[in-house]
Amino acid sequence: MTQQNNDSAASANPFAGFVHPLFTEMMKSWQGEFDALGKKVAAMPKVAEAAMKATKGCTPHDVIMSESPVRLLRYTGKADKRHGTPVLFVFALVNRPYVLDLLPHKSVVRQYLNAGFDVYMIDWGVPSPADATKTLHDYVEGHLHRAVERVLADTGSDQINLVGYCMGGTMSAMYAALHPHLVRNLVLMAAPIDWSSRESLLLSWTDPKYFDVDGIVDTFGLIPPSFLGNSFGMLKPVANYFQKWQGFYDKMEDEKFLEDFFAMEVWSNDNIPLSGEVYRDFVKYGFQQNLLVKGQFPLGKKRINLGNITCPVLNLTADADHLVLPCQSTLLKECVSSTDYTEMSVKAGHIGLSVGSRAHKEIWPRATAWMAERSEPLVTA
């Protein structure tokens, strides 16, 4: 009777006799995941330790000039000095510059130190409400120019090698156009020069029809760091807010990965406010009117003419850069008068250009060699 009941139940329920073996097979395929989960839980103390250890920059340096909040840093390395022309790094005003010296194996600063250059960097500092009305002119012709003069005085050189990153690259190009006799070589890293491409999301967002830059600057004075940080984050929301953490979960037992991850996290969350007037200048004359490539970008009482740049130019771009598309940088070739113009590109994103392993293997040894060939040799007494 019971056997009969079971048979009838089996014929009524097609899953009978299927579910148990299926469940057993599933457990087998998920066993590896459960084991991995255990390892991840066990790795939590290491994660906390790595988070605590994350540092801001790794190469020793001295502060040789200070104009609150701007500081000029001189890096000290162990390599012998081989070149007479010093290198000055100019970073963007919207983040901290130590991304160029994030970790010993990911430091652009060390690449130049090891190649035998004197290396300096401008740290723009954290602007206070007193800096809200500082214009791009104040930064380029004020702080940057005084930093260049200080570096030249410090090294006894007549000219300088400028390396500008992102917005700092645009500022460096402006400086080189205004003071061509002071710049020996100009290296630009993912520097926006042309804002005509409609591919960039930032350009859609800053369309004057939808974006009231005057309203923002007049209301806030200093542009809040959260506003800038979230704008950049939202350019790739899925990658920045989901996939990043998925990647973290997948690799969280790896100590090397944790070191890199937290160094990067500390930097990317270390946003600083931006002077409203600089923001207004950049958005209006750059993003909205694209005046730089037209030779019409106003800086104080002058207009920037990139055609004044005659020094050798190295333009570095990142293929997967979503913040500054390569096409926004490469138009520089058409604008400058330099006969010695070189482009190099790497498969990386905007920040990968300075911290990516591929960039440090493929681009930076070539970029430092490029500069070494074009710098004054060191004259020893």
The nearer residue to another protein, 46 or 244, going by C-beta atoms, is 244
CA 284 to chain centre: 22
Tell me how far, at minimum, the Cβ of 95 lies from another protein, in Å.
22
Gap between the Cα atoms of 83 and 372, Å rounded: 7
CA 196 to chain centre: 21
**CA 53-59-60 angle, 5° bins:** 105
> Is 20 known to be catalytic?
no
| Nearest to 169, CA basis, from 305, 58, 328 | 328
The residues binding another protein (CB under 8 A) are: 14-15, 18, 21-22, 24-26, 28-30, 32-33, 128-130, 132-134, 201, 204-205, 207, 209-212, 215-216, 219-221, 234, 236-239, 242-243, 246
Tell me how far, at minimum, the Cβ of 18 lies from another protein, in Å.
5
Gap between the Cα atoms of 171 and 165, Å rounded: 9
The nearer residue to another protein, 78 or 210, going by C-beta atoms, is 210
Tell me how far, at minimum, the Cβ of 5 lies from another protein, in Å.
20
Choice among 166, 260, 281, 360 that is catalytic: 166
Tell me how far, at minimum, the Cβ of 70 lies from another protein, in Å.
15
**Strand partners of residue 222:** 275
Two tokens, residue 249:
């979960």
Choice among 83, 179, 350, 360 that is catalytic: 350
Choice among 311, 321, 335, 360 that is catalytic: 321
> Is 335 known to be catalytic?
no
The nearer residue to another protein, 36 or 51, going by C-beta atoms, is 36
Two tokens, residue 79:
């390599």
**Strand partners of residue 61:** 75
Tell me how far, at minimum, the Cβ of 360 lies from another protein, in Å.
27
> Is 311 known to be catalytic?
no
The nearer residue to another protein, 227 or 257, going by C-beta atoms, is 227
Element (DSSP H or E) covering residue 161:
strand 160-165
The nearer residue to another protein, 18 or 79, going by C-beta atoms, is 18
| Nearest to 242, CA basis, from 251, 234, 231, 254 | 234
Catalytic residue IDs? 166, 321, 350
